[in-house]
Structure 1
Amino acid sequence: MIPRLDMIGIVAQDLAVSLAFYRLVGLDISEGAEAEPHVEITLPNGLRIAWDPVSTISSFDDTWMAPTGSSRVALAFLCDSPAEVDAVYDRLVATGHHSHLAPWDAFWGQRYATVHDPDGNAVDLFAPLSDSEAGSS
């Protein structure tokens, strides 16, 4: 058997702030989850995303330290349209989240933007450009 990617885990400095960010992205995270020591949802495609506060991670890994510098992994969210990329980006930035790359038409044929989540993780938003949009970049 070949291992398959099943879940992405996020270690959150402030669980409530992290969950609020991902709700703004559009994820369906139940209210009250902020009080849990582990939060997990399953996306429509079957991939799971989980959040653990630092206290949960530290309870079984006393050597855990928050990373420093730029992130090496990004969560990339496919949006339904280039306009949705812009709308989600605007919603996140308007509520005070850090913009890393404002929406732009990438040479590989996608509308693309990057925002940092509250823990500094890169969150990419993207959607395919139509043929006419891709040709005008």
Structure 2
Amino acid sequence: MNPVVRDMDATVAFYRRLGMTIDAAPGALHVAARMPNGMAIEWDSAEFVHQWDSGWTGATGGSAVLGFSVPTREAVDEVYTEMTAAGYAGHQPPYDAFGAPAATRSSMIPTVIASGS
């Protein structure tokens, strides 16, 4: 996954707050985080995207959801509360969605992610 972000420093700070280990210098144009299974998430700044997509116009055509697992429904609520208290915008509080099992709770943290990127 390789999202393009408007503010790399804010994006890195957001994902670090969620617990990701990201090695990035302030003002980086490209940042990557390797997961334990070898997969990587990479972020490119809007200024850098032209290095690999010369036709990029800055238009977006949808959204992506990046999920993080937490051990309990209460933990989802705690993460949402912590992130919104830190100043990230939430679309709505967490809720039980899609007939989720008892240990699962959904939240609009993807909206928080979008506002941080």
% of aligned pairs identical? 31
- CA–CA distance in structure 2, aligned partners of residues 67 and 112 of structure 1: 28
State the match for 1:49 in structure 2: 41
Displacement after TM superposition at 1:72 (Å): 3.3
SS in 2 for 1:99: coil
- SS of the aligned residue for 1:104 comes to coil
Note closer, same or farther for the CA distance 1:67–1:79 as it changes in structure 2 (3 Å cut): farther
1:38–1:50 contact (8 Å) kept in structure 2: yes
Instruction: Show the 5 A alignment for 1:26-45.
Output: 26-30=19-23, 32-45=24-37
Deviation at residue 68 of structure 1 after TM alignment: 4.7
Larger Rg: 1
CA distance in 2, matches of 1:85, 1:93: 12
1:102-137 Cα offsets, whole Å, 9 max, x none, are 11223222211112224577xxxxxxxxxxxxxxxx
Q: Which residue of 2 aligns with 1:80?
A: 71
- Alignment gaps of 5+ in structure 2: none
Q: Which has the higher strand share?
A: 1
Residues 52, 68 of structure 1: alpha-carbon distance in 2 compared, 3 angstrom cutoff: closer
Residue 89 (1) aligns with residue 80 (2): yes
Alpha-carbon distance in 2 for matches of 1:50, 1:24: 17
How many residue pairs get aligned? The number is 112
| Conserved 8 A contact 1:12-1:54 | yes
The one-character-per-residue Cα deviations of 1:58-101 (angstroms, maximum 9, x if unpaired) are 234333133457x4321111112212211211111112222123
Partners of 2:70 and 2:76 within 8 A in 1: yes
- Indicate the residue corresponding to 1:12 in structure 2: 5
Distance in 2, Cα, partners of 1:80 & 1:45? 19
Q: Which runs of 5+ in 1 are unaligned?
A: 1-7, 122-137
**1:111 corresponds to which residue?**
105
Aligned to 2:57: 65
RMSD: 2.3
Q: Find runs of 4+ consecutive structure 1 residues off by over 4 angstroms.
A: 118-121
TM-score in terms of structure 2 length: 0.78
TM-score by length of 1: 0.69
